[in-house]
A and B are shown apart, each in its own frame.
Chain A
Amino acid sequence: MIKFHKITKTYPPDIVALNDVSFGIGKGEFAVLTGRSGAGKTTLFKLLLGQETPDEGQVIFDGQDIASLNISALAAVRRRIGVVFQDYKLLNNKTISENMAYVLEAIGCGQGQICEDVPEVLDLVGLAKRADSFPEELSGGEAQRAAIARAFVHRPDVILADEPTGNLDPYHTRDIIKLLLKINEMGATIILASHDKEVVNGLGKRVITLEQGRVLRDEANGKFVL
């Protein structure tokens, strides 16, 4: 479903973020990207979202070369990908349910579907009672669950989670990982970027280890080894 093919990306003046990176991720898979800070995990996400273009190589999503897409085709791809950030990136002037409704409105869903889907996903992430709260009124764990709810509300094919547990305590970290596993069981492909050893080792999923912009290891039932 997703294929990174011989990707090289350099930032000025000569910082090599990715160097000849190739791997693929299948539909419904749960893959963990791990590596030190600056290893290239976030750059891979940016390439997949079309926020950056590779200097060399191709990022293929469902048969489409991301770099060659026009604005509307890229927006359509983004609608098939939900993104969870370490700093949540929720819209602060909207309530949690409005944050979620916004995504559904953006993809053209009617009010009926919005009223049906938002409470359902809020229930899934355990935030049904916080639907009318603003992001600033939530704890870190709640805000991250809200971010996952927003990323998943339109049932995307893929969820990109960029260090979603980076700001959370172990209790909330387990919560978030359980939630991602649950969403994966529902059929979504999950790519989790994390340098949390406990998280990576506890999952027992495919682990792609990046170091200095290269794929160091790619193991089906991988461990955190650096």
Chain B
Amino acid sequence: MTLMLSLVVSLFLFQHGFNVLVQRAQDKMDISVYFKSEAGEEDILKAKDEVASIAQVERVDYVSKADALNSFTQTHKDDRKLMASLTELGFNPLLASLSIRAKEASEYGQIALSLEKSSFNDKIEKIDYTQRKPLIDKVFSTASTLNRIILAVSIILAAIAASLIFNQIRLSLYHLKKEIEVMNLVGAPHWFIKGPFMAQGAIIGLFGVIITSLFFFALCFFLSPHLAFFLPGLDLFDYFVHNFLIIFAVQLLVGVGLAVASSWLAVKKYLA
């Protein structure tokens, strides 16, 4: 029972960890719109307001030519050849841009389409969505595939666990087969026979839920700092504590429900 409930809670926590991971990957994605060098700052800021009004857009940042050069210099300051070429050039060759972040990874395509139809389309030099599209699509499809895999694995594991619990309860009731049959023969109503076994199943389920909750409380407490080291932003203990009621309710539903249903089915088999 505890093993099965541990599985349920693990999947619950894993799902959260995975969501944090995906969220972080998505947070790092954006698309940039580069403006022609003749486009003035006023035009670009107007364009920024227009972009911000697109429903799928979460945030728009303006990167001026000077900011772009500054960032480029900082990134490549150790590359002497590149720096020398830039100095020799004698002017800032970088373009001003808008960095756009979507609310959902799947919405970048829609935003790119809106940009192509925008009033400032003639001032756009290029949109780097096409270059980043494969990466964006890959992150999105990986997240979606992994979600489906997690769901499928959860269903399979839940089915295995349910069958294990049912068989365990069925075996534990097997040695009471004769007694159940006698109870049935003396005319005891079925609820009178099944009741105590179902109550027993509920108590076993409840104990399983309490033990599992305590175990995961301790596990999350000790594991959380280590996981946060590998995946910043993931506070498993905080998530466990804040969602404890839901986790406890899910365990109750699965643990107690399954034990009661298994007892009911196991006893029913002996009631002719």
Binding site for B on A (CB under 8 A): 49-51, 71-72, 75-81, 83, 89-93, 102-103, 105-107, 150
In the bound assembly, the distance between CA atoms of A79 and B189 in angstroms comes to 10
Whether A106 pairs with B178 at a CB distance below 8 angstroms is no
Residues of the A chain whose Cβ atoms lie less than 8 Å from the Cβ of B181: 89
Main secondary structure of the interface of A (DSSP, over half): mixed
Residue of B nearest to A49 (CB): B185
Identify which of B179, B192, B272 contacts A106 (C-beta below 8 A): B192
**Per-residue contact bits, chain B 173-209, to A (CB 8 Å; 1 contact, 0 not):** 0000011011111111110100000000000000000
In the complex, which residue of chain B has the Cβ closest to the Cβ of A83?
B185
Contact of B183 among A49, A92, A106 (CB under 8 A): A106
- Contact status of A79 and B186, CB under 8 A, knowing A51-B272, A89-B178, A93-B179: yes
* CB neighbours of A51 from chain B (8 A): 185, 272
Among A72, A80, A93, A102, the one with the most B-chain Cβ atoms within 10 Å of its Cβ is A102
A77 to B184, CA, bound (A): 12
| Cross-chain contact A106 with B182 (CB below 8 angstroms) | no
What's the Cα separation between A76 and B190 when bound, in Å? 11
Closest 7 CB pairs of A and B: A79-B187, A78-B187, A106-B188, A103-B186, A75-B187, A89-B182, A91-B179
Hey, which chain A residues are within 8 Å of B185, CB to CB?
49, 51, 78, 83, 89
Contact residues in A for B272 (Cβ distance below 8 Å): 50-51
Which residues of chain A have C-beta atoms less than 8 A from B192's C-beta? 105-106
Give CA–CA (A72, B193) in the complex, Å: 12
Chain B residues with CB below 8 A from A77, complex form: 187
Most buried by A among B179, B187, B188: B187
How far apart sit A103 and B186, CA to CA, in the bound complex (Å)? 6
- How many residues on the B side are at the interface (Cβ–Cβ under 8 A)? 14
Q: A49-B185, A76-B187, A150-B186 are in contact. List 16 more A-B contacts (CB 8 A).
A: A51-B185, A51-B272, A75-B187, A75-B189, A77-B187, A78-B186, A78-B187, A79-B187, A80-B187, A81-B187, A83-B185, A91-B179, A91-B182, A103-B188, A106-B188, A106-B189
Residue of B nearest to A82 (CB): B186
13 inter-chain pairs at a CB distance below 8 angstroms, sorted by A residue, are A72-B189, A75-B187, A78-B185, A89-B181, A90-B182, A93-B179, A102-B183, A102-B188, A103-B187, A103-B188, A106-B187, A106-B189, A107-B187
Nearest CB of B to A220, in Å: 30
Residues of B within 8 A of A90 (CB): 182
CA distance A102 to B186 in the complex (A): 9
Chain A residues with Cβ below 8 Å from B189 are: 72, 75, 106
Q: Which residues of B contact A79 (CB under 8 A)?
A: 186-187
For the complex formed, measure the closest distance between the CB of B172 and the CB atoms of chain A, giving whole angstroms. 14
Determine the distance from Cα of A77 to Cα of B188 in the docked complex, in whole angstroms. 11
Interface string of B140-171 (1 = CB under 8 A from A): 00000000000000000000000000000000
Closest chain A residue to B192, Cβ basis: A106
Q: In the bound complex, how far is the Cα of B186 from the Cα of A80, in angstroms? A: 9
Cα separation A50 to B181 with both chains bound (whole Å): 13
**Interchain CA distance A71-B271 in the complex, whole Å:** 10
A78 to B190, alpha carbons, bound, how many Å? 12
Kindly report which residue of chain B lies nearest to residue A94, judged by CB atoms. B179
Q: In the assembled complex, how far is the CB of residue B168 from the closest CB belonging to chain A, in whole angstroms?
A: 21
A89 to B185, CA, bound (A): 10
Task: Give the chain A neighbours of B190 by CB distance below 8 A.
Answer: 71-72, 75
Interface residues of B in 210-262 (CB under 8 A from A): none
Residue of A nearest to B185 (CB): A83
Q: Determine the chain A residues whose CB is within 8 A of the CB of B183 once the complex forms.
A: 91, 102, 106
Q: Roughly how many angstroms separate A145 CA and B66 CA in the complex, as a whole number?
A: 106
Instruction: Find out whether the CB atom of A75 lies under 8 angstroms from the CB atom of B179.
Output: no
* Chain B residue at minimal CB-CB distance from A88: B182
Q: Which residues of A contact B187 (CB under 8 A)?
A: 75-81, 103, 106-107
Note all chain B residues with C-beta closer than 8 A to A102: 183, 186, 188
In the bound complex, residues from chain B placing their C-beta under 8 Å from that of A78 are 184-187
How many angstroms between the C-alpha atoms of A49 and B272 in the bound complex? 10
Residue on B nearest A91 in the bound complex, by CB: B179
CB distance from B53 to the nearest CB of A (A): 67
Q: Nearest Cβ in chain B — how far from A72, in angstroms?
A: 7
Please name the residue on chain A nearest to B180 by beta carbon: A91
CA distance A71 to B191 in the complex (A): 11
